[in-house]
Amino acid sequence: MLNKDLEKARAFYYGFFSKLFTFIDDVNRFEGVKEAAKILYQNAIEPNSKEALKHFIENFDEKKLVQEFDDIFYDLANDPVPTTASFYDEEIENGKMRVKMVDIVLASKFRKNEKFSDTEDDIGFILPFMHYLILEKINGDEKAAWLEEKTFDVLNTFIDDFIENVYMHTAANLYKDAAVVLKAFIETERMYLEKPKPNIEKVSKKIDIKTVQDEEARIRKAKKKKSEENLVCNLEEGGDVEDEV
């Protein structure tokens, strides 16, 4: 049986994180974040997140939050944190994870509009999409529950690396607190959905040693040939040596 109170609490958390990690072209996009943090502080999941929420509330400044967001996720000079599942999976954008998320979204009633500029596999889309699916489930959409689990499977593959990157970013202050709270929430989600942290085999760009050796040999051969050609050319340009003697 569906525990609606628990589902509403989960939806509230996803809504809170959506506010923090989804870019929307609206000067008031962080409106209500501090008030939501106060509610979460009163019902914190565990001590670390409670302490982080306390620091977040006491130091909350909307302008600084906007600046932190830009520095962490957009400032190219500041090593921006990657935000898509595809990047964490294949080190490329618009990879297999985006295809997977597009299929999930198309199977739902949800349709993107201009409000969402992020791709379907971006953390800025996945968090509000989870919020939407949980609310749909509460309203009786049985398929939403299935899609919610599929979406969490994608989120589960990269959320730990994402949280670590946000927490470690040099510009993070309030977002460091958000990372602590998000980490505690994801651990709770894993237990609730019975989906443990997956063992991810990273796709690394392996260097084919033989290919490198072949390429080096090709370059050496080309240099040698060019050197020989230059030598011939120089001799020809030098004319008849015997004439100069």
CB 37 within 8 A of CB 53: yes
Q: pLDDT band at residue 224, thresholds of 50, 70 and 90?
A: low
CATH topology of domain 4-193: TorD-like (1.10.3480)
Q: Where are the domains of the chain?
A: 4-193
Mean pLDDT of the chain: 86
User: Structure tokens of 89?
Assistant: 């999976």
Query: What is the predicted pLDDT for the residue at 241?
Result: 34
The Cα 230–Cα 227 span in angstroms is 5
Q: pLDDT band at residue 242, thresholds of 50, 70 and 90?
A: very low
Query: What is the predicted pLDDT for the residue at 226?
Result: 53
Q: pLDDT band at residue 116, thresholds of 50, 70 and 90?
A: confident
Q: What is the pTM of this model?
A: 0.80
Q: What is the Cα Rg of the chain in Å?
A: 27
Using one digit for the tens of pLDDT, what is the confidence trace for 150-169? 999 999 999 999 999 999 99
